[in-house]
Each structure stands twice: as C-alpha cells, then as structure tokens.
Amino acid sequence: MRGAVVAVGTELLLGDVVNSNAAWLGNRLREAGVEVVTSTAVADDVERLAATVRLCLADADVVVLCGGLGPTVDDLTRDAVALACDAPLRRDEGLVAHLRSLFPGDLPADVFRQADVPEGAEALPNPAGSAPGLWLDKGGKVVVALPGPPRELQPTSEPVWPRLAARSGRALTTRQVLVVGLGESVVAERLAGLVVPDGVDLSYLASTGLVRVRFTSADTALLPPLVEQVEAALGDHVYGHDAETLDGVVHDLLGARDETVAVAESLTGGLLAAALSTRAGSSSTFRGGVVVYATDLKHTLAGVPSPLLHAEGAVAASTAAALAAGTRDRLGADWALATTGVAGPSEQEGKPVGTVFVAVAGPDGGRVRELSLRGDRARIREATVVAALDLLRRALLGKPDRPS
Amino acid sequence: MRGAVVAVGTELLLGDVVNSNAAWLGNRLREAGVEVVTSTAVADDVERLAATVRLCLADADVVVLCGGLGPTVDDLTRDAVALACDAPLRRDEGLVAHLRSLFPGDLPADVFRQADVPEGAEALPNPAGSAPGLWLDKGGKVVVALPGPPRELQPTSEPVWPRLAARSGRALTTRQVLVVGLGESVVAERLAGLVVPDGVDLSYLASTGLVRVRFTSADTALLPPLVEQVEAALGDHVYGHDAETLDGVVHDLLGARDETVAVAESLTGGLLAAALSTRAGSSSTFRGGVVVYATDLKHTLAGVPSPLLHAEGAVAASTAAALAAGTRDRLGADWALATTGVAGPSEQEGKPVGTVFVAVAGPDGGRVRELSLRGDRARIREATVVAALDLLRRALLGKPDRPS
C-alpha cells in the first residue's frame, strides 16, 4: 500500500512554520504498513490543492492531508477534497449542533464551515479543537484530512491507524534499543556481524551523544532475538528501550533505591537541572542544584576549597570532583553530579573549547570523566548533559565507567 | 519569479528526520524575491527524483534541492539533476584535488563521486563539509543543489541568494518588531488601525509568550514608519527588533550598567539559568543560580525564612519575593530573579496547575508578578522563563510592570 502526505498552508512554503506534521504522519503511516512515496506542502489555493490531491490519488492508495480545516476563508482543504473527489460538500446537522455546544452564543457564520462534509465522507471527532477530521473512501482508495495543530492532529488521527493497518494487512512493529556513549559509526561497526533476517528493517538514528538502533518488521516474533543480540554486543552502553529517556531511566533507578540527586553546573548553566526536572513527579528523586557560572560561586555555593580553585582552575578534574562532593553534602542528596568545562567559542584557562569534566559523588565515593567534545557551544552543552546523566546511570548500576 | 523546494531523502518520508531545511530555504527564497509555489520531499530514488525536478522546472523558475550530495550510493541528487537537465556528469579535477587535501591517505573510490558535476554546472564551495553544492543554468531557469546537513547547507547557500535577488529584481527586506507579554490576537487588535501600504506584507508569528510582528517589502523605505507605529501602539511590550533575543536584550541592558543577575528557580528547574547562559560571553552579566526544587532548599540555599514557607507555602507571592531577595544577597548579584509555581500535571498546595509567581529583586527593592498560565508542563515552564526575563527587562528600564 502506497501513501502520500499533503501539508496545507502558505506559511509552510514561506518557512514561517516547520512542517513537523509530515514527519509524524510519515512515522505513523509506516507503522500502519503504508509506504510513503511523496510528501508535499501546498499553499492555501483551492485549485492547486485539488490538483495535488488528484495527482497523489493517481500514485498512492492513501492520501493524508493536514491543515486547512479551520473556520476561516483561508481554510480550503474541505473544498479541495470535495473538488478532487467529486464529492460536493453537505452541511452535517450533527456537527452544527456540536459546534453550538462548543461555543454557546451567537456565532459568525464561518464557524459552520467546519460542519461541511464531502458527500460520502465520515467526520472524525477532534477531541482538542473544533474542526473535525475527514475520512473518505474513493474508489478503493482513501483520503484522510486532519487538523493542522499537532495537539489536534494527533488525537483526531487515532481511529485512522488501525483502519489503515487492517487494509494494508501488514502493520509494523518497531523495537528500539537506546545507546549512550558510542558514536553511530562505532555502533554500526559493533553490529556488523548481526544477521538481520528478511522482513526486518534495521536503522540507526543519532542525536547528540545518543544513538537509537531501530528494528521494524511485520513479524513481531523476529524482533526479540535481534534486540537481545544488540544488547549483548553493546553491553553497558544500552540505557533503555523504545520510548524511554535517559533522564527517566536515572529517575527510575534512583526511585527504586529511594535515593535522590542534586547537581552543580558550570558550563551547562542549568541544562542538567532542567533535564532532571522535565518529567512530572521528578521532585521525588531530584532535589535541586546550584549553577556556579561565576568561579567564586564554586567556592561559596558548592564548597570547592579556594586553594584548589586557585591551583587547578575552574576547568579541572579535581574541581569537578570537589563540586560534586560539596553539592552532595550541602544539598543533602544521596548523589550529586557536577559539570565544568569550556563551551566556547573561546578557550579558557589555556584549555581548548570542548574540554569538559563531569563528576559524580555518591555514598561510596566519586568518579570523574574527562571529555573532549566537538561542535558549537550548544552541542557541547547538550553532550555534557548526556555524559553526566550516563555517569550517574553507570554509578547507580554499579558498572565501571566507560567500558570498552 | 517562482520557486520550488525539493528535499531529498527517504528518511524524510519515513519521518525519521523533520524537514527543517524546507522552512529555512522557503524563508531565504522569499527574501530573494522568489515565490515558493511547491515544496516536496522525495525518496532516494533517481528516477522519481529526476521526474520531480522536471515537474518543478515546468512550474517554477528556480528549483532548489537539498540533500543527497554525499559520497554513498544512496546519494543520487547529482545523478538526478544530470538526468533531468540532460547534463551528463563530468569529474572535476579541481574538486578531486580538494577532496584529497581534505582527507589525506587512501580514499574509497566513492568519495570522488562528490567531484562529479553536471555539464555546465558550477560547484559551490562547502565550507563545512566535503560535498560541494551545484548551480546550473538551464534554459533561463536555475537548478540549485545544496548539501542536506543544515550546518553545511546554510554556508554553502550564501552565494545563491544575492544571485537570485539580482534575477528576481525584487529582493525583499524584512523588519521584525519583537513583542512580549501580549497574545497574538491582542497584538492584532491593537494594530487594527495600522494602514499597511500596498507592497508591504504584514504577518504575526507567535511562540510561547512572544509575538513577532513582521513586515516584508521590496521597498525598504516603506518599513521604518510602520515599525515606529507598531512601537507606539505596543509601547513597553516591544523588547527588540529583528534577530534580537529576550535573554540577549537583558544581557545588553545589564552590561551597559555593568551589573549582574542571579536566579532562584523552582518550577523552571534550571531553564531560566540555561536561557541566561545560552549566549557566548554571558558570564560577564550572569553569575549563576540555585535550583530549589525541594521545598527545604528554598530555605537552606536561598534564605527564605522557614516560618514564611510554613505559613505561605512554596507557591506564593511572598515566597517568590523572599527567594529573589535571598538569592540576590547570597549570590552577590545586583539583580535576582525567582520562579515558583505549579507546572503540573497535578495541583499543589491547593493551587491549580498554571499558578506561577515570578519575582525580581534589585538595588531599589523588588516586584512580584502573578501568572495564570495554560498549557502542558513544558509550556508552563517555558512561559515562566519568558515572564521572568521580561520582569527583569522592565525593572532595568525603570518601566512599571505589566502596563495595560
């Protein structure tokens, strides 16, 4: 089964909005067993939009449109679908009543354009907004239209995926093994001996400091042995699976032991604390931290001895270790993480950009890891956060740091 | 002049990568006076890619491709341009020598695919990678191919824009007025009386807590009076222009007075400090902060009196004020900002999700602002950071808080 994605809106062509819906829809279509062959952005122009839908229907079995379903005269997706599919718009009285219940009082007439449905189409309820989606069977093919705002598109689309999976007869299952501390090429090299059976797709998806090893297949039974082989090959570098996050894994490990963490940050300037406070409920395992951007605060807030700071400087292994130990003590946490280093763009204390130390202090002592990071200031800060979380993860697991 | 954007890569159709290049290219084409009429993502399939380029050339004067210029057999953009434009590939010896200088030693033969250039095309130097871009004149039309990674695409594309602007003869100038503390619809309402002359485009671009009022025109002289009228209508809500950022404006105001700021964060958990340490050189005006996520740290790290915490709780105006005052004192800064509130998803101390207090303390005393924010946890945290930075901005300017 072949699919086409059509994102509607002049703002996409002007570059005022990044077309993130296309990626989200591409992922879901793939999982439903639909191969996306084309993805296009089209301006708010009914003729051009209808022509695009016709062109897509010639090439694909499923066309998914997003955007252009709102109440204004710029919202032309309904009209274009009606035109392309020879399915004139009819006003649905059930939808009119629903709109009246959403907006009590006098309503501008345009609002009711959202109650217009192409003949033969089904309205898909929008739990987060006023514009319903549409599902239209058209000569064995399917046209789906979804609202543009992601927080409306995603819930409105939920009924679509099982139906498409049933039609394609080959819904895919995805399993991901999440890896930290190895580059994409090293991961690929270590997995070079992996025999991937026919019918399984393997891909590597890299972001700063992290790699996802992803298997996709219509045959669920093929995946667990592959996941196990990756785990065996990558060992301690595997931090989780599927939708897990590195900060979430750390919170879970801490929670299981009823322990807490605090942080002291220099070059990351708050990003590590922000990561550890992202998840709802993180206050049960994250106590807080100090952002010791100015050098004197490393002494006054985190208790790094002044003579050490004078002798070693702010960017040093011993300073990182002292930051972690002092913070653990002063903030009353079971564990503490510290970051210090040179984010750039200029060198500092004679150390080149990318020189970074992360340290952990825990009930049984501390560890320091030295990093030589590449990239710009933002990337160095992000990579430092990942390395610090991984350092704590390894300490909590009782694993040695940085195994080969 | 009409333009088409073609992003190349199966990963875009699968949704593994968000197509952010399309937005960036759309913006630059528009500024060069090229109207983007279509934007498409295409798989790594040479026939389909060549067909797409032909289709775009039938409709547009300029086709800009991105991605698919690397050394691997999956990189097919060069081949597709050659096919679509009847311009066979020729190996460029100058590019071969350049590749040898980039990668000394024995090279796999595939690397030199990056030295292949369609007949009549010009190679565009890539200052950040090995794959050059291409510029090909084709019967009065232009085909441009650029490398896919944004940090390579952007510098490689620089020679393209002035050339296209010269061809279109109507390069556009953009001026932006940056607004904080008013919603998009309120901004539009306040500017309802604005007379926008023919030949000027007005748009509103909103993100969490911020709105950009954007004017674009081929006639530069039309813009300054419009910018002035917006400033007059929105007053203190205007925090900057064009590429300025709210944190950058705060740093500049502090720097001009040779003063510093420190922060105390509860619900924002480090995000405010992270914002204030984003810019290179921020250490001259940002001293650091405390992340007082656990309630007892509000006392021990930021000096909030325990009786006050017991009487008022963690989420209260007086607690926010005490956090700011204590932090200013303990961290030795001229100014301090504090945030406390309920990020959700559950209420806290009987206060609903979205109840937030931000406070500033300075040489002449303090101010507190109460907010009732909507949205999910991430959005509430982001909006709090924006409100806190704005509170400091207003205090530094000697402006009253939240003018009507």
Is the pLDDT at A107 greater than 90, yes or no? no
pLDDT at B404: 41
Lowest mean pLDDT among A102-111, A385-394, B209-218, B275-284: A102-111
- Report how many Cβ contacts below 8 Å link chain A to chain B: 212
Stretch B80-92: mean pLDDT? 97
**In this prediction, what percent of chain B has a pLDDT beyond 70?**
99
Which residue of chain B has the CA closest to A348? B281
Among candidate residues A273, A233, A231, A228, the one with its CA nearest the CA of residue A250: A273
Pairing of strands A141-146, A133-138: antiparallel
Q: Which of B26, B277, B344 is closest, CB to CB, to A293?
A: B277
Q: Which of B12, B20, B273 is closest, CB to CB, to A39?
A: B12
Cβ-Cβ contacts under 8 Å, B343 against chain A: 280
CA A5 vs CA B3, B4, B41, B72, B261: distances in Å = 20, 17, 10, 27, 48
Classify residue B89: in a domain, yes or no.
Answer: yes
Q: Same domain, yes or no, for A17 and A149?
A: yes
CATH number of the domain enclosing B189: 3.30.70.2860
CA distance A45 to chain B (A): 10
The Cα angle at residue B43 between residues B39 and B47, in degrees rounded to 5: 100
What is d(CA A384, CA A392) in angstroms, rounded to the nearest whole number? Answer: 13
Interface with chain B: mutation pick from A11, A52, A291, highest number of B CBs within 10 Å: A291
Tell me which residue range forms the domain holding A280: 246-397
Q: Same domain, yes or no, for B155 and B195?
A: no
Among candidate residues B7, B9, B35, B37, the one with its CA nearest the CA of residue B22: B7
Contact flag A15-B37 (C-beta cutoff 8 Å) = no
Q: Which of B30, B280, B293 is closest, CB to CB, to A288?
A: B293
Cβ-Cβ contacts under 8 Å, A203 against chain B: 16
Tokens of A103: 């907006």
Q: Total structural domains in chain A?
A: 3
CA distance B290 to chain A (A): 4
Coil, strand or helix: which one is B144? Answer: strand
Classify residue A173: in a domain, yes or no.
Answer: no
CATH number of the domain enclosing A43: 3.40.980.10
Residue A402's pLDDT band (cuts 50, 70, 90): low
Q: Which of A17, A277, A301 is closest, CB to CB, to B270?
A: A277
CATH number of the domain enclosing A255: 3.90.950.20
Cβ-Cβ contacts under 8 Å, B18 against chain A: 18-20, 22-23
Cβ-Cβ contacts under 8 Å, B296 against chain A: 332
Q: Same domain, yes or no, for A237 and A342?
A: no
What is d(CA A265, CA B270) in angstroms, rounded to the nearest whole number? Answer: 10
Is the pLDDT at A194 greater than 80, yes or no? yes
Q: Same domain, yes or no, for A197 and A116?
A: no
Interface with chain A: mutation pick from B62, B277, B346, B374, highest number of A CBs within 10 Å: B277
Cβ-Cβ contacts under 8 Å, A346 against chain B: 280
Contact in structure between A2 and A59 (CB atoms under 8 Å): yes
Contact flag A271-B276 (C-beta cutoff 8 Å) = no
Residue A341 half-sphere exposure toward CB, CA atoms < 13 A: 28
Tokens of B313: 């709780």
Tens digit of pLDDT for each residue in A13-40? 999 999 999 999 999 999 999 999 999 9
CA B85 vs CA A113, B70, B125, B137, B167: distances in Å = 45, 20, 21, 9, 20
Domain boundary pick from B241, B266, B298:
B241
3-state helix, strand, coil in chain B (%, to 5): 40, 25, 35
Q: Where are the beta strands (DSSP E) in B48-182?
A: 62-66, 89-91, 116-118, 122-124, 133-138, 141-146, 173-180
pLDDT at A404: 41
Which residue of chain B has the CA closest to A273? B270
pLDDT at A105: 83
**In this prediction, what percent of chain A has a pLDDT beyond 90?**
92
Q: Same domain, yes or no, for B232 and B258?
A: no
Q: Same domain, yes or no, for B218 and B75?
A: no
Tens digit of pLDDT for each residue in B135-152? 999 989 999 999 999 999
Q: Same domain, yes or no, for B203 and B109?
A: no
Classify residue B383: in a domain, yes or no.
Answer: yes
pLDDT at A109: 86
Cβ-Cβ contacts under 8 Å, A291 against chain B: 263, 270, 273, 277, 288-291
Cis bond upstream, residue A224 (ω within 30): no
pLDDT at A339: 98
Q: Which of B14, B283, B291 is closest, CB to CB, to A294?
A: B283
- How far is CA B283 from its chain centroid? 22
Q: Same domain, yes or no, for A7 and A148?
A: yes
**B69 Cβ neighbours under 8 A, 6+ residues apart:** B75, B77, B78, B114, B131, B132, B133, B134, B145, B146, B147, B148
- How far is CA B277 from its chain centroid? 16
* ipTM of the complex, rounded to two decimals: 0.91
Classify residue A402: in a domain, yes or no.
Answer: no
Q: Same domain, yes or no, for A161 and A261?
A: no
Which residue of chain B has the CA closest to A12? B23
Is the pLDDT at B403 greater than 70, yes or no? no
Coil, strand or helix: which one is A248? Answer: helix
Classify residue A404: in a domain, yes or no.
Answer: no
Which residue of chain B has the CA closest to A375? B151
What is chain B's mean pLDDT, rounded?
95
Contact flag B287-A294 (C-beta cutoff 8 Å) = yes
Contact flag A297-B25 (C-beta cutoff 8 Å) = no
Tens digit of pLDDT for each residue in A330-377? 999 999 999 999 999 999 999 999 999 999 999 999 999 999 999 899
Pairing of strands B173-180, B200-207: unpaired
According to DSSP, residue B106 is labeled: -
Domain boundary pick from A190, A206, A241:
A241
Domain boundary pick from A241, A264, A293:
A241
pLDDT at B372: 96
CA distance A398 to chain B (A): 27
Tens digit of pLDDT for each residue in A60-89? 999 999 999 999 888 999 999 999 999 999
Tens digit of pLDDT for each residue in B248-288? 999 999 999 999 999 999 999 999 999 999 999 999 999 99
Please report, in angstroms and rounded to a whole number, the separation of the first and last CA atoms in chain A: 44
Is the pLDDT at A156 greater than 90, yes or no? yes
Q: Which of B39, B275, B343 is closest, CB to CB, to A41?
A: B39
Pairing of strands A238-241, A173-180: antiparallel
What is d(CA B272, CA B384) in angstroms, rounded to the nearest whole number? Answer: 8
- How far is CA B172 from its chain centroid? 20
Tokens of B192: 């309802």
Residue B211 half-sphere exposure toward CB, CA atoms < 13 A: 20
- Enumerate long-range contacts of A158-164, CB under 8 Å, 24 or more apart: A159/A124, A159/A135, A160/A64, A160/A124, A160/A133, A160/A135, A161/A28, A161/A31, A161/A32, A162/A32, A163/A135, A164/A1, A164/A29, A164/A32, A164/A33, A164/A34, A164/A62
Q: Match 């296009």 to its residue by tokens.
A: A40
Cis bond upstream, residue B88 (ω within 30): no
What is d(CA A378, CA A87) in angstroms, rounded to the nearest whole number? Answer: 51
**Which amino acid, residue B158?**
E
Q: Same domain, yes or no, for B133 and B193?
A: no
Contact flag B280-A41 (C-beta cutoff 8 Å) = no
**Which amino acid, residue B197?**
P
Contact in structure between B287 and B260 (CB atoms under 8 Å): yes
Which residue of chain A has the CA closest to B42? A38
Q: Which of A30, A274, A343 is closest, CB to CB, to B15?
A: A30
Residue B108's pLDDT band (cuts 50, 70, 90): confident
Q: Same domain, yes or no, for B366 and B234?
A: no
Cβ-Cβ contacts under 8 Å, A297 against chain B: 287-288, 331
Q: A7 pairs with which residues across the strands?
A: A41, A66
What is d(CA B333, CA B262) in angstroms, rounded to the nearest whole number? Answer: 6
According to DSSP, residue B90 is labeled: E
Contact in structure between B69 and B78 (CB atoms under 8 Å): yes
Classify residue B259: in a domain, yes or no.
Answer: yes
Q: Same domain, yes or no, for B95 and B224?
A: no
Classify residue A403: in a domain, yes or no.
Answer: no
Classify residue B404: in a domain, yes or no.
Answer: no
Contact flag A288-B294 (C-beta cutoff 8 Å) = yes
Q: B297-335 in b/e burial notation, b at 16+ Cβ within 10 A?
A: bbbbbbbbeeebbeebbbbbebbbbbbbbbbbebbebbb
What is d(CA B158, CA B25) in angstroms, rounded to the nearest whole number? Answer: 11
